[in-house]
Amino acid sequence: MIHTDGIDTRKRIQQLSHACLQWQMDGRKNTMAAENDIVLIYMEEKPLVFARIEAIAADHKPDWYHVDLLFLQIPLQVVTWILKDAYINGEPYTMGGQSMRLELVKSPALPAPVDADAAPPADKETGKRPPGTASGGKIISLADMKKSR
């Protein structure tokens, strides 16, 4: 069935289920993995593979979802698993008689950028800054090194 705005009923249901899923995630302080998140998949409590969640769509059963996963391995592989929301949240489950679990991967914090204004002042006698500070490091051009070979 097509609505007057041109959106198919199935598409509208997917949009609403995704909005509902987002609302559930917000209520759980974003512990549930979402589209584009990276997860680590465990089998029998051993890390198996990293995967990116490509899509999450509601299943016809309440609290179950079709989860498209891109396995980050060679060769790349896309699979669709039907999982409960609790399993997407990281609770263990079984697949083919083996214990499985998804764990949301959080990116480690990046070091704060060094502000040149905040760098320690240059030594009064030598006029040099300590090594490793904003203006105290040496810039090496890899292109120049390649040309000189």
Q: What percent of the chain has pLDDT over 90?
A: 48
Note the pLDDT of residue 2.
45
Per-residue confidence at 1, pLDDT binned at 50, 70, 90? very low
Residue 79 lies in a domain: yes
How far is residue 30 CA from its own chain's centroid? Answer: 12
Confirm if 2 and 8 have CB atoms less than 8 A apart: yes
Residue 116 lies in a domain: no
What pLDDT, in 10s, does the model give residues 3-47?
A: 455 556 566 555 555 554 454 444 444 457 899 999 999 999 999
Render pLDDT for 38-80 as a digit per residue (tens, 0 to 9): 999 999 999 999 999 999 999 999 999 999 999 999 999 999 9
Assess if residue 146 is contained within a domain: no
Whether residue 75 is contained in a domain is answered as yes
Domain that holds residue 72: 9-104
Judge whether 14 lies within some domain: yes
- Assess if residue 24 is contained within a domain: yes
Question: What is the per-residue burial (b if ≥16 Cβ within 10 Å, else e) of 47-73?
Answer: eeeebbbebbbbeeeeeebebbbbbee
112 within a domain of the structure (yes/no): no
Q: What is the value of pTM for the model shown? A: 0.56
Output the pLDDT for position 31.
Answer: 58
Q: Answer whether 81's CB lies under 8 Å from 88's CB.
A: no
Into how many domains does the chain fold? 1
In tens, the pLDDT along 117-141 reads 555 666 667 666 666 555 556 777 8
Decide if 56 contacts 66 (C-beta within 8 A): yes
